Amino acid sequence: MKRCIRIFYIARKPTPAEWSKVAKVTALGMLLFGLTGFVISFVFSYLR
């Protein structure tokens, strides 16, 4: 439990620039995974 509490003392809020970078990378990852799934679904439906 002490280790968990220590993390709260060490942790800090991200700056707006850091938050923006994380949001952009997350959105890009979601877009790529969605696009990959769409392409795979399209290819398999076309092969039927």
* DSSP helix, strand, coil percent of the chain (3-state; round to 5): 85, 0, 15
The predicted-structure confidence for 1-48, as pLDDT tens digits, reads as follows 888 888 888 888 999 999 999 999 999 999 999 999 999 999 999 887
What pLDDT is attached to residue 4?
86
What pLDDT is attached to residue 47?
86
The predicted-structure confidence for 27-36, as pLDDT tens digits, reads as follows 999 999 999 9
Q: Whole-model pTM above 0.85?
A: no
Q: In the chain, what are the domain boundaries? A: 14-47
